Structure 1
Amino acid sequence: MHLFRSIIGALSGLAALFLPLGKAERMAFPPESIQFFENKIRPLLAGNCFECHDAKKHKGKLLLTSREAILKGGDSGAAITPYDPDKSLLIEAVKYINADLQMPPKKKLGKQDVADLEQWIRLGAPWPSSGPISTSAKLEQAFSITDEDRKYWAFRPIERPGLHKTNGQAPIDQLIQKQLESKGISVNSIADQATLIRRAYFDLIGLPPSYEEVQAFVNDNSPNAWPKLIDYLIALPQYGERWGRHWLDVVRFAQTNGYERDDEKPLVWKYRDYVIRAFNEDKPYDRFVLEQIAGDELPDVDNDSLIATGFYRLGVWDDEPDDKRAAEFDGLDDMLKTTSETFMGLTVGCARCHDHMFDPISQQDYYEMLSFFRNVRYYDKPKYEWDSATYSPLIRPQFVFEWQNKKDKPKDAKPPWNGREYALTVREHSVKPMDTHLLIRGNAGRPSKKVEPKFLNVLTNTKPAIAQSPNPFTTGRRLALAKWIASPEHPLTARVMANRIWQFHFGRGLVATPNDFGKAGVPCPNHKLLDWLAAEFIDSGWSIKHMHRVIMKSEAYRRTSWQNPANQDADPGNKLVWRQNLRRLEAEAIRD
């Protein structure tokens, strides 16, 4: 029995992955578990086992193309035991524990691949419950985007809904009230002053108010007491630390590289501090986007915009990979996935090995988007002096951003070699764009046709305007991508960030899957409200602090979290926002 053959990737245009599941196995898994399967497990299975264990060729009577088939197993029994990797034959095989059961037979899987399989089984072996898909129909039909695809709510232009003038009712409350009235749901009352000040403090700075601050607010009967409190809190330095942490979570910030050694990422704190400064200064979000995607290619490049490109370097990184070419494309995949999920709320990474199973994103779309990042490289092995926290200036200046540290240092600090510090960022391979090829099954060793940079077809037919970068060592490709994403005409960028801001004020976004606005995500229960927020965000000059004021001044935000039994049957999850949500205080706030 052979479980695996090749090493990387996933099957181009593979719909055979989902065969009819028995009713008992059509389980509903959390969206994050399904995404883990799509990003990690499906490519691994498709690239390493479907040649021997698909519907056409199932050695040892083992099929690995559906959860039901995997649980049924083959001649040796069930391939996995959900939630228990230690009892799963699949893990025994890939770990080479048994000399008679070693898979893949030609080359052992890497440690990270094995760890991903173990984690997948621990999660219960999540598998999309999309039902049966016709293999032949999918393989015979060319990928196409229909008018219906383009009419999907998240892909349509943002439209600010028209509202009637009312006696002081905020637009947010008007849009919520319309839905509640149609369902016969009554709203909760406004919370008392002591509750509101604690809510505001924890939301905006992650710290509780003092007794004196609570008493002062409770005794302040002026109509502007609440707006004044909001303005006070968002002006504090702790505000940037609190909301910067939210952003760091979104962009997978980590201070170590992962893998076996889990080495520290030197100087990554400079990106962290850049994010904190950006929130405290209320940097316009469109500029914030531009700097992180293409800060080194901006015509007005500065220290912050260069530090911002550390955004690409925050994920896991293996400095000694088993397969360097595969690792190269894994790194590029991480850049593309993080960029698309963070700024556009789309799981473009699911199209690495085949057309997206849910959204109108083809495998060619994936590689056309990947080509924007094709020239980007991490540092290989820069010299590093731990005491001085300084990179060696042995590599060319365009490769590393040289950042003059103007802050005072301890008198006993060892001076850097050249009196300068460097920031952890990325570089481009050369000014000449490298060719990008569509990879068969996502396998780095199986390139096919060449592709050029292009935006997602379902969102626009506009061809990227790639201008010569003012930096002589970059291609200008990422700047073209950044300008498209940061454009007010982009249908997703403002919606996605407005939803994130709402999420951190209510504990749940209007779209409950903030990284997935596609068809596999949780539907938005109030499109008009989200569109109003997105339009307001753009019209404010992309000001995040303005959005705090708008949201927190609404009655929706200030309501109690009392779970009214009369409303529970109609809207048990509070999707229509008739109350504030009960929320757990995060570990960071408890620690502080």
Structure 2
Amino acid sequence: MRSVSQQLPSVVAFLGVIAGALPFASAADDLFHQVKPILESTCVRCHAGPEAKAGLRITSREELLKGGASGPAIDLQSPGDSLLVSAVTYDGFEMPPTGKMPQPRIDAVVAWVKAGAPWPAGQQLKIEHPVHGPPQVNEETRNHWSFRSLKQPETPQVVHADRVANPIDAFVLQKLEAKGFTLSPEADRRALIRRLTYDLIGLPPTPEEVEAFVNDPSPKAYENLVERLLASPQYGEQWGRQWLDVVRYAETNSFERDNPKPYVWRYRDYVIRAFNDDMPYDQFIREQLAGDELDQVTPDRIIATGFYRLGLWDDEPADPELAFYDGLDDIAATTAQAFLGLTMNCARCHDHKLDPIPIKDYYSFVSFFRNVRHYGKRSDDTVLEASVRSIAPAEVESKHAAEVDAWRERVKELDAVVAAFEETARQKLIGGEKDDFKSEGVRENILKRHVGTLFTEEEFGKYAAARKERNRLRRQPPKSEEQALCVKENGTTVPTSFVLLRGNPQAPGDEVTPAFPQVLSPPTPDIRVPASGESSGRRRALAEWIASPENPLTARVMVNRIWQGHFGRGLVRSTNNFGLQGDAPTHPELVDWLASEFMARGWSVKAMHRLIVMSSAYRQSSRHAPSAMGPDPLASDPQNDLLWRFDMRRLKAEEVRDSMLAVTGSLNTAAMYGPSIYVPIEDEVLAGQSRPGYGWGKSSPEDQRRRAVYIHIKRSLTVPILAAFDAADTDFTCPVRFASTQPTQALGMINGAFANEQAGKLADLALAWVRGGNDPAPQVRIMLERVTQRPATETEVERGVQLVRDLQKTHGQTRQQAMQTFALVALNLNEFLYLD
């Protein structure tokens, strides 16, 4: 008698014959028919035909059992361990690579595999040959991870539950433990306070603050530190600066003249206040995109719309119509990337090559801004008319109007006096002088020649005085300082929008109306004309959709920016690009959990700071200590994608400059807000301008010591120390700062006037604290501890003392010169410029 194993093929064949009569046959068919469209829409594009990726073809059960380069896709002996199951659940392989499928689809595939992958006879998958060209808007692209509706995932259970300070750690540990890793030990308190203080306020802690935290026995010492820093006015200056990067904040127009933008600093102050006040992020969006169209319009909301005026402006364009559309493209690009993480501007001339954004979607998006007035037409006077609005109270506005009326009346009177005298004199002129007199600018000089002949000196004097006063008044009309750079529209009637073929305004295509990107399965815009009658209401419709909890991108993009601000890089590294070719999230479930929490906590940015900095993941040490008990994460994850330690980072440009002022006791943190300041720039740098020094003023010494966020940002002239340490590119939205290493950094920090000035102040400060004595050790110790925010070791002090003595003995420096040189060395320490 044959064994059961020998009889198995016959049994299987017999079951196949009678399957139609068995109850479970229809269930198996149902499973296949649930999975079939998933395979067709998600998998066959890459895994069919002779060029199937990794040699895996999925167009039949036999091919799945055969598998590809990694082995069989389905393991009938242990179906739950099949490669296909691990791929769709993102446990190892991650398929599809465009983003994890919704859970119901994953469940269907897993159930089908566990049922033995039934495949009814005669059934074939529909294979569509790949269409070469831009991605299409379809079920597959709509299923990209960031385009799917946001749902909060459940917090995973982990082995190292003792390291879970909040759910963030559970998501991080889940990934680590799957690889046999865990979190690094917690950083010591000195590293933590320095890290946290820089992250939240952009400044070093004082030595006194460090010692107080290190010696605080309270179990809430760290939590109390977090709250103190979040309540600091300097918090808004630090985090406001990060938002200014994203919205391409600058205070001049670029191009040849690079003239200043009037009152633009009010937008900077608005952003700083918004972060300090913890304005809900959805409100922050609405105010910037449509503050003038909201039900209640306030001065701050008008200022917020300065967002639209931060870009470049060519005041002498060769093609004014093209320049107008360039301005709309700048607005659309910044809006889409800043709030949605979409590079929609890539579809200006053709369908997006990398994302499912047709050219029609781009121009439908641009049409939300079609009625926005261009920044100006040519002269700066037109900017005041098109982009500046009064934010003064009614009584101030009334007073200003009276001043303008009086000014106009006086100019009119003087015009009459000048014109009467000139007309009388013109009739007496002869020859070439009569022709030259047509030019207003030369009239006074011509008439001066005829004093004593055509008219008396007294008569000419009255004329010259009236002309001088008139010209002065023309140049200096009454100004209300309570004005803001803002958006304005051309009333309620909006010009028709068209697709511009190849982006050319002279080649209009199909007509378009406002609409949101199709791939996001959005609603129809709800456009309502504001009661003011000054605008179309289109921008508010856009703002309401972007700020809606139903928008799948907005919260994801912002929590990723906040994460980047703390960890130096986002969970999605391509912070401005959440599209198909953007970087995939290292922790997709964590992104969605954070985004869900963000909205649940009232869109509070400070609430997200608390979550992130209170986590064990954030409080890890940056030091790599391989464990003898398990695998080395550095070998398999050198980029630290799994967050098994905290990444070190270099200080940003503003932090470098402000920290030098802080450690020397010079930083002026009391002065906040108001017009921007000008710091000294070397003549050699100013000489690089077409008009050396043009547009760069001089502030008081007290103002020069204010934080870098208040320094005037001139696009054609960057403060050298900020330029050397990778200040933001202001021509476009800047999602992340570079952290380069280049010679100009060392040259500026050793030879620069600013660095040497601060070194001198640090040496003076240390000497003042020591008060007398010939021993340089106490002074050296103070300088080291001010710079590093930790106690100096005896070895470090001894080396410093030796350097000071060598400088005096070998190089002939005085005691004060040697101390200043040592201070310069201290300010160049890596420990000063890097966060551990």
Specify if TM > 0.5: yes
- Distance in 2 between residues matched to 1:362 and 1:383, nearest whole Å: 37
Q: Do structure 1's residue 330 and structure 2's residue 326 form an aligned pair?
A: yes
The aligned residue for residue 562 of structure 1 is 623
What is the one-letter code of the residue matched to 2:491?
Answer: S
The aligned residue for residue 319 of structure 1 is 315
What is the one-letter code of the residue matched to 2:509?
Answer: S
What is the one-letter code of the residue matched to 1:148?
Answer: E
The aligned residue for residue 464 of structure 1 is 525
* 1:306 equivalent among 299, 302, 306: 302
Q: Do structure 1's residue 350 and structure 2's residue 343 form an aligned pair?
A: no
After superposition, the Cα gap between the structure-2 partners of 1:196 and 1:137, relative to the gap in structure 1 and judged at 3 Å, is closer
Q: Do structure 1's residue 525 and structure 2's residue 521 form an aligned pair?
A: no
Deviation per CA, 1:103-145, whole angstroms, max 9, x where unpaired?
A: xxxxxxxxxxxxxxxxxxxxxxxxxxxxxxxxx9658x9x841
Q: Do structure 1's residue 404 and structure 2's residue 392 form an aligned pair?
A: yes
Do the aligned residues in 2 keep the contact of 1:486 with 1:493 (CA within 8 Å)?
Answer: yes
Instruction: Using the TM superposition, give the Cα deviation of residue 255 of structure 1 relative to its aligned residue in structure 2, in angstroms.
Output: 1.2
* 2:639 equivalent among 553, 562, 573: 573
Q: Do structure 1's residue 179 and structure 2's residue 175 form an aligned pair?
A: yes
Q: Secondary structure at the match of 1:569?
A: helix
After superposition, the Cα gap between the structure-2 partners of 1:498 and 1:569, relative to the gap in structure 1 and judged at 3 Å, is same
What is the one-letter code of the residue matched to 2:137?
Answer: I
- Distance in 2 between residues matched to 1:225 and 1:417, nearest whole Å: 55
* 2:154 equivalent among 162, 166, 171: 162
The aligned residue for residue 260 of structure 1 is 256
Instruction: Using the TM superposition, give the Cα deviation of residue 241 of structure 1 relative to its aligned residue in structure 2, in angstroms.
Output: 0.5
Do the aligned residues in 2 keep the contact of 1:488 with 1:538 (CA within 8 Å)?
Answer: yes
Q: Do structure 1's residue 586 and structure 2's residue 652 form an aligned pair?
A: yes
- Distance in 2 between residues matched to 1:442 and 1:420, nearest whole Å: 40
Instruction: Using the TM superposition, give the Cα deviation of residue 366 of structure 1 relative to its aligned residue in structure 2, in angstroms.
Output: 0.2
Q: Secondary structure at the match of 1:438?
A: strand
- Distance in 1 between residues matched to 2:477 and 2:214, nearest whole Å: 53
- Map 1:326-475 → 2, pairs under 5 A: 326-380=322-376, 395=385, 400-404=388-392, 417=478, 419-475=480-536
What is the one-letter code of the residue matched to 1:315?
Answer: G
- Map 1:121-160 → 2, pairs under 5 A: 144-160=136-152
- Distance in 1 between residues matched to 2:573 and 2:198, nearest whole Å: 21
What is the one-letter code of the residue matched to 1:488?
Answer: P
- Map 1:22-37 → 2, pairs under 5 A: none
Q: Secondary structure at the match of 2:511?
A: strand
Do the aligned residues in 2 keep the contact of 1:313 with 1:378 (CA within 8 Å)?
Answer: no
* 2:221 equivalent among 225, 230, 250: 225
The aligned residue for residue 492 of structure 1 is 553
What is the one-letter code of the residue matched to 2:502?
Answer: R
Larger radius of gyration: 2
What is the one-letter code of the residue matched to 2:597?
Answer: E
Instruction: Using the TM superposition, give the Cα deviation of residue 163 of structure 1 relative to its aligned residue in structure 2, in angstroms.
Output: 2.0
Instruction: Using the TM superposition, give the Cα deviation of residue 564 of structure 1 relative to its aligned residue in structure 2, in angstroms.
Output: 4.2
Do the aligned residues in 2 keep the contact of 1:403 with 1:420 (CA within 8 Å)?
Answer: no
The aligned residue for residue 426 of structure 2 is none
The aligned residue for residue 537 of structure 2 is 476
Q: Secondary structure at the match of 2:499?
A: strand
- Map 1:54-65 → 2, pairs under 5 A: none
Instruction: Using the TM superposition, give the Cα deviation of residue 514 of structure 1 relative to its aligned residue in structure 2, in angstroms.
Output: 0.3
What is the one-letter code of the residue matched to 1:586?
Answer: K
Instruction: Using the TM superposition, give the Cα deviation of residue 508 of structure 1 relative to its aligned residue in structure 2, in angstroms.
Output: 0.4
Instruction: Using the TM superposition, give the Cα deviation of residue 419 of structure 1 relative to its aligned residue in structure 2, in angstroms.
Output: 4.0
- Distance in 2 between residues matched to 1:416 and 1:303, nearest whole Å: 23
Please give the TM-score of this superposition, normalised by the length of structure 2.
0.51
Q: Do structure 1's residue 188 and structure 2's residue 184 form an aligned pair?
A: yes
- Distance in 1 between residues matched to 2:599 and 2:389, nearest whole Å: 31
The aligned residue for residue 128 of structure 1 is none
Q: Secondary structure at the match of 2:579?
A: coil
Deviation per CA, 1:156-190, whole angstroms, max 9, x where unpaired?
A: 11111112686664100000000001111232100
- Distance in 2 between residues matched to 1:196 and 1:501, nearest whole Å: 18
Q: Do structure 1's residue 543 and structure 2's residue 634 form an aligned pair?
A: no
Instruction: Using the TM superposition, give the Cα deviation of residue 227 of structure 1 relative to its aligned residue in structure 2, in angstroms.
Output: 1.1
Deviation per CA, 1:498-542, whole angstroms, max 9, x where unpaired?
A: 000000100000000100011221111110000111011101100
Deviation per CA, 1:24-57, whole angstroms, max 9, x where unpaired?
A: xxxxxxxxxxxxxxxxxxxxxxxxxxxxxxxxxx
After superposition, the Cα gap between the structure-2 partners of 1:436 and 1:527, relative to the gap in structure 1 and judged at 3 Å, is same
Q: Show structure 2 runs of 5+ residues with no match.
A: 1-129, 397-474, 627-631, 659-836
Instruction: Using the TM superposition, give the Cα deviation of residue 416 of structure 1 relative to its aligned residue in structure 2, in angstroms.
Output: 7.8
The aligned residue for residue 572 of structure 2 is 511
Q: Secondary structure at the match of 1:338?
A: helix
Deviation per CA, 1:65-105, whole angstroms, max 9, x where unpaired?
A: xxxxxxxxxxxxxxxxxxxxxxxxxxxxxxxxxxxxxxxxx
What is the one-letter code of the residue matched to 1:402?
Answer: S
Deviation per CA, 1:520-572, whole angstroms, max 9, x where unpaired?
A: 21111110000111011101100001111000000000001113452112211
- Distance in 1 between residues matched to 2:476 and 2:197, nearest whole Å: 40
Q: Secondary structure at the match of 2:650?
A: coil
CA RMSD in angstroms, aligned pairs only: 2.4
More helix per residue: 1 or 2?
Answer: 2
Deviation per CA, 1:219-267, whole angstroms, max 9, x where unpaired?
A: 0121111111111111111110010000000111111111122111121
The aligned residue for residue 31 of structure 1 is none
Deviation per CA, 1:352-391, whole angstroms, max 9, x where unpaired?
A: 1111111110000000001000001234269879xxxx98
Q: Secondary structure at the match of 2:510?
A: strand
- Distance in 2 between residues matched to 1:197 and 1:227, nearest whole Å: 11
After superposition, the Cα gap between the structure-2 partners of 1:415 and 1:380, relative to the gap in structure 1 and judged at 3 Å, is closer
Deviation per CA, 1:281-321, whole angstroms, max 9, x where unpaired?
A: 00000000001111111111111111111101111111111
What is the one-letter code of the residue matched to 1:371?
Answer: S
Q: Do structure 1's residue 250 and structure 2's residue 246 form an aligned pair?
A: yes
After superposition, the Cα gap between the structure-2 partners of 1:416 and 1:195, relative to the gap in structure 1 and judged at 3 Å, is farther
- Distance in 2 between residues matched to 1:561 and 1:497, nearest whole Å: 25
Q: Secondary structure at the match of 1:555?
A: coil
Do the aligned residues in 2 keep the contact of 1:296 with 1:471 (CA within 8 Å)?
Answer: no
After superposition, the Cα gap between the structure-2 partners of 1:416 and 1:324, relative to the gap in structure 1 and judged at 3 Å, is closer
Q: Do structure 1's residue 279 and structure 2's residue 340 form an aligned pair?
A: no
Instruction: Count how many residue pairs are aligned between Structure 1 and Structure 2.
Output: 441
What is the one-letter code of the residue matched to 1:579?
Answer: R
Instruction: Using the TM superposition, give the Cα deviation of residue 471 of structure 1 relative to its aligned residue in structure 2, in angstroms.
Output: 2.4
What is the one-letter code of the residue matched to 1:213?
Answer: E
- Distance in 2 between residues matched to 1:415 and 1:376, nearest whole Å: 29
Q: Secondary structure at the match of 1:153?
A: coil
Do the aligned residues in 1 keep the contact of 2:155 with 2:167 (CA within 8 Å)?
Answer: yes
Instruction: Using the TM superposition, give the Cα deviation of residue 468 of structure 1 relative to its aligned residue in structure 2, in angstroms.
Output: 2.1
